[in-house]
A and B are shown apart, each in its own frame.
Chain A
Amino acid sequence: MNAKPVVEIKNLKKSFGNQEVLTDVSLNLYEGENLVVLGKSGSGKSVLIKCIVGLLRADAGSVKVFENDVTALNRKNLGLLRQKIGFLFQSGALYDSMTVKQNLEFPLRRIKKDLSEKERDAKINEVLENVGLADALHKMPSQLSGGMRKRISLARTIVVDPMVMLYDEPTTGLDPVTSDEISSLITEVQKKYKTSSIIITHDIKCAHHTANRMIMLSKGEVYMEGKPKDFENSTDPLIRSFFM
């Protein structure tokens, strides 16, 4: 794989006060691949992908997306770059005061400005079908179950056709059946829209299902990197504890 990386992180460092969360993280995401990032909770996985979209500012090191240095971009250019990135929040982050339809329209209106209303509705229907929730169009987020909310927020993320997807624990807190469905959705999105994705998880089943390559994060550093097979066959106690 000698393609140019879509996301390129070098020696990333981030701390809050005197708590060092990421000490030295370097990783690359290549075009079309699914990269799974493992790590126990509190190891800074969410912080890592928030640095990629510029929600958090790195203390040191560089974060490049499509060869743009995220830390150096001004607000306008960062906005343009973010249009190419989809971010699925750990909590879903659906807009409480809006219906499902309005939730999906929100990014569409702002990122795909030239769509007509008809095209917009068609697009919304298409992604809702993809996540299997076409009948939830006029529901409020509070009327949805946890799994449904996750799926709607996935729909909201993919509705604008991002080229890079960042999934923050897409299956955490869901039942095994829904987890499997979400994992399948992730691979489907990868195939259908040709996206490159970083998938954060500590759900080994989801990791197996989706990963082309894996990274383990521990103590603010990349602890191990390799193919899913390497992880399975590893004798390292920390890795083993994840695969039990």
Chain B
Amino acid sequence: MKKFNPVAKVKGFATTQSVRLSEKTMAKTVMANNFLTDIADVFLFIIQIIRETFSRDFEWKEFFRQCFQIGYKSLPLISITGTIMGLVLTIQSRPVLINFGAVTLLPGMVAISLIREMAPVITALICAGKIGSGMGAELGSMRVTEQIDAMEVSSTNPMRFLVVTRVMAAILMVPLLILYADALGILGSWAGASIKGDVSFVLFFSQAFAPVKFMDFFPAFIKSFFFGAVIGLVGCYKGYNAGRGTESVGVAANSAVVLASLLVIVVDMIAVQITDMML
């Protein structure tokens, strides 16, 4: 029979605890290291993309395929959300404006808030979900199943073929989707106004566009290119640098959505600050 030995017990406990502690600090150092190297990594990634974009052999065919994937395939989703956005905004703000006796301002107000903020940000967030996760998952699984390595050994630059085309397609298509969401949002707003009373289509649109100035539209248009860039870059970066093993695909897709959504909001804030300073 084994005798109970308190000294050995305490000793054993202390050793395991100290080992655990040192493991924890180790993990932390590695993490700090990772954070800095991550930033350097992202920086190199972007530089490489820029260099490959201006190289001679741009992969046009893959670029157009990606534009189709990103732009055309997102149309149904953006149509629905855009329309509902305008509709809901109208129905919600109508009672307030009636209280102020300013219901004629409704179309203009909705149009401006859609164009300046609502359509770009909500569309970008939806794209971060749809496009960002799609890129993360697709490139991630290509990484895990060695398809990216296979491209590399058939002397194709996967950076140029896979990443540059996707990032460029996102930069081009996200702004177009946002313009489309603007249009459908205003249409939805008209629908919302029509539910409550008979509104002439022509009158509604002239009221909607009358107060919209160039400087309402232009900064929003510019920032939408940055939204596209952020979504494309994050999706591709997470997918392209996915780890080994199948679970990395899920991790890549998930973290692409989270980071892209977060960055869309941050970019929006910066853009609003800059616009505000310029006006």
Contact A91 B146 (CB under 8 A): yes
Q: How far is the CA of A111 from the CA of B138 in the complex (A)?
A: 25
Contact A87 B150 (CB under 8 A): yes
Shortest CB-to-CB span from B54 to chain A, Å, is 16
List residues 86-105 of chain A with CB under 8 A from any CB of chain B: 87, 89-91, 93-97
B156 located at the interface, meaning its Cβ lies under 8 Å from any Cβ of chain A in the complex: yes
List residues 130-180 of chain B with CB under 8 A from any CB of chain A: 138, 141-142, 145-147, 149-157
Binary contact readout B265-277 vs A (1 if CB under 8 angstroms, 0 otherwise): 0000000000000
Shortest CB-to-CB span from A91 to chain B, Å, is 5
Contact B154 A93 (CB under 8 A): no
Contact B149 A93 (CB under 8 A): yes
Contact A110 B145 (CB under 8 A): no
The listed residue with most A CB atoms (<10 A of its CB), out of B141, B146, B150, B151, is B150
Q: How far is the CA of A177 from the CA of B142 in the complex (A)?
A: 30
Q: How far is the CA of A17 from the CA of B91 in the complex (A)?
A: 60
Contact B155 A89 (CB under 8 A): no
- Which of A83, A93, A160 is the one whose CB lies under 8 Å from B150? A93
Contact A55/B155 with A89-B146, A91-B146, A93-B146 known, Cβ cut-off 8 Å: no
The interface on chain B, measured as residues whose beta carbon lies within 8 A of the other chain's beta carbons, has a size of: 15
List residues 75-121 of chain A with CB under 8 A from any CB of chain B: 75, 79-80, 82-83, 85, 87, 89-91, 93-97, 106-107, 110-111
Shortest CB-to-CB span from B252 to chain A, Å, is 15
Binary contact readout B210-244 vs A (1 if CB under 8 angstroms, 0 otherwise): 00000000000000000000000000000000000
Shortest CB-to-CB span from B167 to chain A, Å, is 18
- Which of B141, B149, B154 is the one whose CB lies under 8 Å from A111? B154
B151: A residues at CB distance < 8 A: 106
Shortest CB-to-CB span from A92 to chain B, Å, is 8
Main secondary structure on B side of the interface with A: helix
Contact A111 B155 (CB under 8 A): yes
Shortest CB-to-CB span from B73 to chain A, Å, is 14
Contact A83 B149 (CB under 8 A): no
Contact A110/B150 with A91-B145, A93-B145, A96-B141 known, Cβ cut-off 8 Å: no
B155: A residues at CB distance < 8 A: 79-80, 82-83, 110-111
- Which of B145, B147, B153, B157 is the one whose CB lies under 8 Å from A85? B153
Contact B156 A89 (CB under 8 A): no
Q: How far is the CA of A83 from the CA of B141 in the complex (A)?
A: 25
Q: How far is the CA of A85 from the CA of B153 in the complex (A)?
A: 8
A53 located at the interface, meaning its Cβ lies under 8 Å from any Cβ of chain B in the complex: yes
Q: How far is the CA of A215 from the CA of B146 in the complex (A)?
A: 26
A interface, CB within 8 angstroms of B: 50, 53, 55, 75, 79-80, 82-83, 85, 87, 89-91, 93-97, 106-107, 110-111, 160
Chain A to chain B contacts (Cβ below 8 Å), 16 pairs = A55-B149, A79-B155, A79-B157, A80-B155, A83-B155, A87-B150, A91-B146, A93-B147, A95-B142, A96-B142, A96-B145, A106-B154, A107-B154, A110-B155, A111-B154, A160-B154
